[in-house]
């Protein structure tokens, strides 16, 4: 197994897409990039679920990828979200990301149309074979309505540039099967499951909470990587209430954008059909951030 040699091991952060008066705020996006680089984040992940990719136009999607690549300027890796329920669209976006200078592509399982497992295999195969950059399979059946079964992922592992899986099924047995049967690097897609996945052989996380506490997530991962398991467990228990009480308030990225607004780092604007937290939910979020020490 070669997972620990993966250049994307460590903390990747699923960036929000900042809006101001309905338009993408590219200055705020560049500030987000600087914040993450200063913290030591290994990889930036624009236009994924947290980046509200379903409501970005194709032009905005491409511009956000390019803007993050240019702002990072080689100081952190960029894994661009390029998935779609249309294979042709995923091909086009992934090829764009490569041309723009992204280091890897995060390709979500085709959503809504619920392909067969053979359809899943052919979708990821065609996308991966159309580019030279590494591809990360993003498996999140809670949003796509269909699991990419471990047997399908094991088949896909034979394709040279499919090198990673963002595991967001919440099924530890599925992650174990992938880890024991392939050399794919498994990255947690759930902040609160980062330490359990690391203990099974995962190598990092594509984090939402890392938008506000990247240093703490890095501390957890580094502690485990350096065999300081007790420290890693302490970081897990410190981060867990934040993950549970903030991210559990509403659909991602509603709570993280609200938190960034409270911390003075974002307008908090969302695009419909996402709607802001209620007053009661905002008060709960303020209490969570205060208890953590952020407010």
Place of tokens 């500030």: 31
Peptide bond connecting 273 to the previous residue in cis, omega within 30 degrees of 0: yes
- 138 given a catalytic annotation: yes
DSSP string, the chain: --GGG-TT-EEEEE----EETTEE-HHHHHHHHHHHHHHT-SEEE-SSTTTTGGGS-HHHHHHHHHHHHHHHTTSSEEEEE---SSHHHHHHHHHHHHHHT-SEEEEEPPPSS---HHHHHHHHHHHHHT-SS-EEEEE-HHHHSS---HHHHHHHTTSTTEEEEEE-S--HHHHHHHHHH--PEEEESSGGGHHHHHHHT--EEEESGGGT-HHHHHHHHHHHHTT-HHHHHHHHHHHHHHHHHHHTSSSTTHHHHHHHHHTTS------TT--PPPHHHHHHHHHHHHHHT--
User: Which two tokens mark 96?
Assistant: 């764009």
- 166 given a catalytic annotation: yes
Cα 227–12–254 angle (5° rounding)?
120
Of the residues 77, 146, 166, 257, which is catalytic?
A: 166
Cα 142–263–279 angle (5° rounding)?
65
Cα 19–193–82 angle (5° rounding)?
40
Q: Report the distance separating Cα 288 and Cα 36, nearest Å.
A: 22
Of the residues 26, 121, 138, 292, which is catalytic?
A: 138
Catalytic residues: 138, 166
């Amino acid at each position: 197994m070669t997972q620990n040699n993966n250049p994307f091991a460590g903390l990747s952060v699923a960036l929000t897409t900042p809006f101001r008066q309905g338009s993408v705020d590219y200055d705020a996006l560049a500030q987000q990039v600087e914040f993450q680089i200063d913290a030591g984040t290994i990889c930036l992940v624009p236009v994924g679920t947290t980046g509200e990719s379903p409501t970005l136009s194709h032009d905005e999607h491409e511009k956000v990828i390019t803007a993050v690549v240019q702002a990072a300027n080689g100081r952190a890796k960029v894994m661009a979200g390029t998935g779609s329920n249309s294979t042709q669209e995923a091909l086009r976006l992934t090829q764009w990301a490569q041309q723009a200078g992204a280091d890897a592509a995060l390709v979500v399982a085709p959503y809504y149309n619920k392909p067969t497992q053979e359809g899943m295999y052919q979708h990821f195969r065609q996308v991966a074979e159309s580019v030279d950059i590494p591809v990360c399979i993003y498996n999140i059946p809670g949003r796509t309505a269909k699991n990419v079964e471990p047997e399908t992922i094991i088949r896909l592992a034979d394709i040279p540039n499919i090198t990673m899986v963002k595991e967001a099924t919440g099924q530890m047995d599925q992650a174990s099967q992938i880890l024991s049967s392939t050399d794919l690097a498994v990255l947690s897609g759930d902040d609160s499951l980062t330490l359990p996945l690391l203990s099974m052989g995962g190598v990092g996380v594509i984090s939402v909470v890392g938008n506000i506490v990247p240093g703490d997530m890095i501390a957890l991962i580094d502690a485990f990587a350096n065999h300081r398991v007790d420290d890693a467990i302490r970081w897990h228990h410190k981060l867990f209430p934040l993950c549970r009480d903030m991210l559990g308030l509403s659909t991602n990225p509603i709570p993280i954008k609200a938190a960034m607004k409270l911390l003075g780092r974002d307008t908090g604007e969302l695009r419909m059909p996402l709607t802001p937290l209620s007053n009661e939910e905002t008060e709960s979020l303020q209490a969570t951030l205060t208890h953590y020490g952020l407010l």
